[in-house]
Structure formats: C-alpha cells, structure tokens
Structure 1
Amino acid sequence: MSLVDTTLQDRLARRIEALRTARELKPGHPSVATETIRNYHTRATADGFVFDADEPVSKIGGTGTAPRPLRYFLAGFAFCLQAQYVRNAIRMGIELDHLSVDVESEIDRRGGLGLRDAPADFESIAYTTTLETDADADAVRDLAATAEDCCYVHGTLSKAVDLTGTTVLNGSPL
C-alpha cells in the first residue's frame, strides 16, 4: 500500500499553477517560539504544537526529559526533505511503499564549549534516503533530485556544510 495518495495529483497541480500565476507570491515566514523551563530544559511552540528539548543527565543541568536540541535540527532537515519527497511523488504520480531518511553528523565538540577560535558548527552531515517503490530507477533519481532542490533545509545546508546524500531504492544504492 502506498504511503503517498497520488489521487491528490490534480489538486496539487492546480495549486502549484495558481501559485505560479499569482500576481504576487508572498514569502513564507516559518517561526517557532521557545522558553527555558529550567537549565537546559526548554519548550517550543509552533503551529499550535508544544515540544520540549533537554540535555542528558550526564551534562550538568540536564534532566534527560526530551531529545537534545541538535536532534531536532537534524530531524527538521529529515522532515523537510521527506515532505518534498511526498509532494513531488504526488506531483509525479509515484507511489511509495516506504520512505525514510536517516541523518548522521559530525561536530567538533570544542566549538560548543568555547575551546576553539572558530564558532561552533557541523563538520559534516550525511543522510540516506531509503525508498521502496515500483517506479523505475530513472523516475526515482528525478524524484530525489527534485526533492533535494525543493527542500529549504537541504538548500541551506548544502551551502554551509559538507552535505552528503545517498539514495537507496528497494534495498540497493542508486
């Protein structure tokens, strides 16, 4: 059973065309509000949802009550990329039986501790997109390229860090 409702293809095409021909296409303004609960424990509100972040107990002041902040950052990238896979699978009429994105990263921990001259940053981010579909490899390559090109986080990260992606189709790397 497909994870993607390709019957939405016509509705999506009409929506994209309406936006393409709109007199003015206003910029989007994604936002989130956060507050500190205690020490590292923070709470965010976005789109009517509330979610927390924390550090593990092993960090002085952490209570381990929620995922660490950088995990949300990496998950945000994966979520954004997956949304583009779904949107473009609908647009292209590609049914997906499985879609997942795994993200790994490397950081120089000295940056977050103020122990180096350069600002804290990611050294690298690598991700693997795994798909199961009956679509042919060329269609999936096109889907992957389009999803990456349409993903705001992918576009931003690719300018800022060594970003490496792998696509796996039906158990084999493309």
Structure 2
Amino acid sequence: MSNTLNGIDLVALQGIAQNVAGAENASKRSAKFNVKTKWENQTRTVATVSRYSFLGTEHQRHFEIAADEPTEFLGQNSAPNPQELLMSALNACLSVGYAVNAAAMGITIHSLEIETDGELDLRGALGMDENVNPGYDEVSYVVRLHTDASKEKVEELHKIVTKTSANYANFSRAIRMVTKLEVQEG
C-alpha cells in the first residue's frame, strides 16, 4: 500500500497532526504568515512573501504576487485584481482541504475544480453611500469533484472541508482587524 494519496504524504500528515495534538506551547501548534505589499504605481502593487512560521520554526522563502486593476477601474490590467486574488486564495485553501482530507479518508481525487463568484456594489467601494457594504454581501462557489467515492463519502468530505478550511472561515466569519498607521513625513 502506498503512503501517498492525491499527492499527500499520509505518514507526514499523521506526524503533523500528532505534533500539533501533543504540543503544549501555542507556537508549536500554529502556522503564522506574513506578506509585505508595496505600491508601485497607479493601481499596481507587488506583495512579497519572504517568511512563515510552522510549528514554532521560522522558514524563509521568496514569492512575489502582483495585483492590478482592470483598465476600466483605472489600472493597467497587468495582473489579477485584489478581489480575484481573494477568491483565488479561497479556492486554493479549499482545494488543499479537499486533497488532504480526501487522502486522510482514503478517497482518490481524479479531478477537482472550484469556481467562485462575487459581486460588489461600487457605491460602497467608491465611498458614495455609507449604507452600502464596500465588500461582498454574498460569495458563491461551485466544487466540481470527480472521484470514485460514494456520494455519502463525498458529502462527508465536503462537510469536513467547510468546517476546517481557514479561508472558508475567513470568508464566513468576522475577523478582528488590528491596524497601525506609520506616517513618514518629508
């Protein structure tokens, strides 16, 4: 029997779960992420991912993520906009949840696709009406999953993923935002 399913190392997955379950120190059972974003010009930004902490150990890496608005929204259309990146982050997190939890449940995934939609009322985003939410009132997504598992097993998988996905939780619950403004003069 193989120790991988859906590309997931089942022994490593079990090891991570055991480390988290046995950790008394909160930092030894957490993952911490950091992104630094710099404005370049017009509506374009570039975010840099350079480090993260996993189970109390800091790791270095380097990724850049560009964002820009479409030309109709005053950008150069050189990269996905922040809303598309937000939805992409939701879809990626859900995809990880399906792959990992399916593997843990012994379910082979033949294909997986998630499509997400949301509509903004621009009166809120443009500050034209304080009674209009600048964000989404509703986001919908469709999961297209091809597997040989029974419908009941796939429904159980879906419930587990929606219960444990960090970004599903971020979308569906309020997050306490802690902000600090540092102004450089001159």
* TM-score band w.r.t. shorter chain: 0.7 to 0.9
TM-score by length of structure 2 reads 0.78
Letter in 2 for 1:144: H
Which residues in structure 2 correspond to 1:1-174 (within 5 Å)?
4-5=6-7, 8-26=9-27, 27-47=30-50, 48-60=62-74, 62-118=75-131, 119-160=133-174
Moved over 6 A (4+): none
Moved more, 25-34 or 97-106: 25-34
Gaps of 5+ in 2: 51-61, 175-186
How many residue pairs end up in the alignment? 157
The offset of 1:28, in angstroms, is 2.5
Structure 1: gaps (5+ residues): 161-174
Q: Is the 8 A contact 2:5 2:106 kept in 1?
A: no
Change (3 A) 1:52 1:16: same
SS in 1 for 2:112: strand
CA offsets 1:96-124 (integer angstroms, 9 cap, x no match):
00011100012111111101113511021
Taking every aligned residue pair, what percent have the same amino acid on both sides? 26
TM-score normalised according to structure 1 size: 0.83
Q: Counterpart amino acid of 1:95?
A: T
Q: Which moved more, 1:69-78 or 1:26-35?
A: 26-35
Q: Greater relative contact order (Cα 8 A, min sep 6): structure 1 or 2?
A: 1
- Report the Cα offset of residue 81 of structure 1: 0.8
In 2: Cα distance, 1:78 partner to 1:34 partner: 21
- Check conservation: 2:114, 2:144, Cα contact below 8 A: yes
Q: 1:80-104 deviations in whole A, cap 9, x for unaligned?
A: 1111111111211110000111000
